[in-house]
Amino acid sequence: MTVAQEVEALYDEVRGCQRCTLARTRTLAVPGEGPLDAEVMFIGEAPGVNEDRQGRPFVGQAGSFLEELLGEAGLTRPEVYICNVLKCRPPGNRDPLPTEIEACSDYLSAQIRLIDPLLVVTLGRYSMSRFFPNQAISRIHGKPREANGRILVPMYHPAAALHQQRLRSVIIDDFRTLPELLDRARAGRAGGAEPAEEEPPAQQMKLFE
């Protein structure tokens, strides 16, 4: 089976998923989107009302701001892969529950394995917690860590700037570091570092000095 076939099979599974109660309240599941050879993967938290209606990630106000942020990094949306920790919208846009995150965990692991990005950017604290458990996003945002030929960097969710204007410049500054980080990741992969099958826990990662 080709990567494209595996990804399409994964998307079909997500669209028909019944692993948790969100299956009863969603309109459409939101598997993710982007090129299968994307060098950069963005992982958000959960679909909102617009995403739930369209079945696509980041299509509301936060999505518009994300596209602006990508421009600050010299990237465009068609170049990157975008997905969420949860594939279905929590009712009322409430926070994801631990059981829901666990139910979707295998899907995200499969996406990381299949897309095999050089750079993974987590957006928001629930996405961050998968790779950086027991950390505060206010303390580690924008600080990259290396894991076996892949760079992980936690950032605020674009929606945070829509609610707290003081974070807007912080997020923009963090995104402007992505070109340099991508160059580092390319150099690391070219040097022979292979990505792990599974992302290692945070304590095994090396914080760049």
Give me the residue spans of the domains in the chain.
3-189
Percent of the chain clearing pLDDT 90 (strictly above): 86
Give pTM, 2 decimals: 0.91
Superfamily of the domain at 3-189: Uracil-DNA glycosylase-like domain (3.40.470.10)
Residues 41-74: tens digit of each pLDDT: 999 999 999 999 999 999 989 999 999 999 999 9
Task: Read off the pLDDT of residues 154-180 as tens digits, 9 standing for 90 and up.
Answer: 999 999 999 999 999 999 999 999 999
Contacts of 51 (CB under 8 A, 6+ apart): 30, 57, 58, 59, 60, 89
Give the torsion sign (CA, 159, 162, 163, 165): positive
The model's pLDDT over 8-39, given as tens digits with 9 standing for 90+, comes to 999 999 999 999 999 999 999 999 999 999 99
Per-residue confidence (pLDDT) for residue 195, from 0 to 100: 57
